[in-house]
Structure 1
Amino acid sequence: MCRSIKTLRPPATPEATDDDMRAAALQYVRKVSGFRAPAAHNREVFDQAVDDITAATAHLLAHLEVRGRK
């Protein structure tokens, strides 16, 4: 997968920011689509995918139960 995506859950990252989540989502969409930057006719769907994955990441991190953490 994409090696530049870092782990965002605690304790690896004490508190992931919106920017951290968006950067990870962007890297994921770039990897999956094969485009570093989409052509104009694909920009809307590319940006929507980044938004959707950012939201899914925020939801995941907000609801994970990390055991052994105080």
Structure 2
Amino acid sequence: MCRSIKTLRPPYADDVTEDDVRAAALQYVRKISGFRSPAPHNAEAFERAVEEITRASEELLGALEVRGSR
């Protein structure tokens, strides 16, 4: 779906920042909404979705256990 979103977990990525996770969330929201930049009346919902997906993604990455990484 979003080919430019990179895998953000080890061993594929080291030193993943909050900006990396937010950029992936932004790409995702842009793809599913069909908007690169939403109209003013949709901006709040768009930004809220980016923030919620960023938070959920950070929780997921923090909870994953990669076998053989210890």
Q: TM-score range by the shorter chain?
A: over 0.9
What is the distance in 1 between the residues matched to 2:4 and 2:36? 14
Residues 13-57 of structure 1: per-residue CA shift (max 9 Å, x gap): 112100000000000000000000000000000000000000000
Q: How do 1:1-70 and structure 2 match up within 5 A? A: 1-70=1-70
Gaps of 5+ in 1: none
Q: Which stretches of structure 1, 4 residues or longer, exceed 3 Å deviation after superposition?
A: none
Q: TM-score, normalised by structure 1?
A: 0.97
Identity over aligned pairs, percent: 66
Number of aligned residues: 70
Q: TM-score, normalised by structure 2?
A: 0.97
Gaps of 5+ in 2: none
